[in-house]
Amino acid sequence: MLRLIDISKNFGGLKVLDRISLEMKKEKLGIIGPNGAGKTTLFNIISGFLKPDSGKIFFMNENIIGKKPSDLAKLGIIRTFQIVKVFENLTVEENILTIVDDLSILKDFDLEEKRKEKAKNLSQGEIRRLSIALALVRRPKILLLDEPFSGLSKKEAEKILTIINEIGGNGTSIAIVEHRMREMFDAVDRVVVLNGGKLIFDGYPEDALENKSVREAYFGSKYVKG
């Protein structure tokens, strides 16, 4: 479905992505790696917010490099942001109505009771759910979630995980960026690990923990505990 070939990106002298090749099928893929590994940059490139210095990206056999985020969204590549973007002064339902006429998604996201509430009055977990709902009503073929659990309690994170697991059955491919490993393991079929702009692992989540390079990347950093 999505194929990245030798994607590289530099900022100034800093090699942020170094020849990343990655294929994504209809699956739930976890993209993990310590802070600064290049995860958000990778999402920015896939979703058209940044252009790579070199490499190719094919989405359903079409080269998509150079396309704008809005065009890619029309093709079905939709992402959420690490820092949540919703219309804060609109109510929950008004936020959804900016995109579709159908409010049934609010039920799936347990936001029905909050539908008349302004987005700025929502809890962290609720606003995160709203942001994912806003991405989903656009009917993504590929949904890119950038740290959907950050800042959330375990309970709120689990709620989002449950929703994400349900979406998995609807033929949407999902890529989830996360810097902590544990949160990911129940949610995804496969993980890739980025470290210092390089892809150092691609495989089953349970094998990632046993992998020497992955352990070095994590246990050598301050993000050991997750």
Ligand X SMILES: Nc1ncnc2c1ncn2[C@@H]1O[C@H](COP(=O)(O)OP(=O)(O)O)[C@@H](O)[C@H]1O
Name the site residues for ligand X (rule: CB under 6 A): 11, 16, 33, 35-41
From ligand X, Mg ion, none, interface partner of 37 (C-beta below 5 to 8 A by class): ligand X
**H/E/C letters for each residue in the chain?**
CEEEEEEEEEECCEEEEEEEEEEECCCEEEEECCCCCCHHHHHHHHCCCCCCCEEEEEECCEECCCCCHHHHHHHCEEECCCCCCCCCCCEHHHHHHCCCCCCCHHHHCCCHHHCCCEHHHCCHHHHHHHHHHHHHCCCCCEEEEECCCCCCCHHHHHHHHHHHHHHHHHCCEEEEEECCCHHHHCCCCEEEEEECCEEEEEECHHHHCCCHHHHHHHHCCCCCCC
Binding residue (CB under 5 A) for Mg ion from 16, 24, 40, 175: 40
Smallest separation, CB 69 to Mg ion (Å): 17
From Mg ion, ligand X, none, interface partner of 38 (C-beta below 5 to 8 A by class): ligand X
Is residue 47 near Mg ion by the rule CB under 5 A? no
Smallest separation, CB 74 to Mg ion (Å): 25
From ligand X, Mg ion, none, interface partner of 133 (C-beta below 5 to 8 A by class): none
Smallest separation, CB 41 to Mg ion (Å): 8
Footprint of Mg ion on this chain (CB under 5 A)?
Answer: 39-40
